[in-house]
Amino acid sequence: MRIVLVGPPGAGKGTQAVRLAEKLGIPHISTGDLFRANISRQTELGKLAKSYMDAGNLVPDEVTIAMAKDRMEQPDAEKGFLLDGFPRNVSQAEALDQLLRDEEMTLDAVLDLEVPEDEVVKRIAGRRICRNDSSHVFHVTYSPAKQEGVCDVCGGELYQRDDDSEDTVRKRLEVYHTQTEPIIDYYKAQELVVTISSLGPVDEITQRALEALKREKAGK
């Protein structure tokens, strides 16, 4: 299957993308991974992207699209792929459509992870990270530390990252509503959107998504 995964920040896209790709036997292609891979390998696209990033500018759509095209042409993507973080706006979605047409391919589904805005704020603003090891992550509501402000693992100080503050989260949501959410309507016009709730245990959400994708595929 060829799938685009969309949803607001805090919807659990990263977690579900990895799980779904594994269950479906297709590669998970994320924008962040594409940038990191191209920059670390010092490809021409990686050097170009880094020049924009070093200057504090956004990487142009055409560079992101070229990276995605290169990745989708790899042998492991022959049977499909799951795109996470791309397309990020309607112009990228249009470019992806053209790219797929050129390769005589089509998307099978656009999986929309739906979560209430207040829940997004609660999920992200409640995160606390250990200063000693950023892989030690807690949540004031869902997985609190035994002692407030102290890491259970190493005893380090727990803190809230600047980009996890409520004000920043709400600004990120505004950007999502303005730039990314319109692609849902774009794909609804193509009858590709499958919307599921991203509330509940991780395993339940994965199963919900798999069943929705199965129904979508069966209906075509």
**Catalytic hit among 2, 13, 122, 123:** 13
Contacts of 207 (CB under 8 A, 6+ apart): none
* Catalytic, out of 69, 88, 170, 208: 88
2 is catalytic: no
Catalytic residue list contains 41: no
In angstroms, the CA 181 to CA 217 distance is 23
DSSP 143: B
Q: Which of 19, 122, 123, 172 is catalytic?
A: 172
> 19 catalytic, yes or no?
no
Point out the catalytic residue in the list 41, 131, 161, 215.
Answer: 161
Interatomic CA distance for residues 70 and 79, integer angstroms: 15
Residue 115 CB contacts under 8 Å (≥ 6 apart), including other chains = 7, 8, 10, 11, 12, 123, 197, 198, 199
Given the residues 19, 71, 123, 127, the one annotated as active site: 127
170 flagged as catalytic: no
- Measure Cα distances from 131 to 24, 154, 161 in Å: 36, 10, 10
Residues with active-site annotation: 13, 88, 127, 161, 172
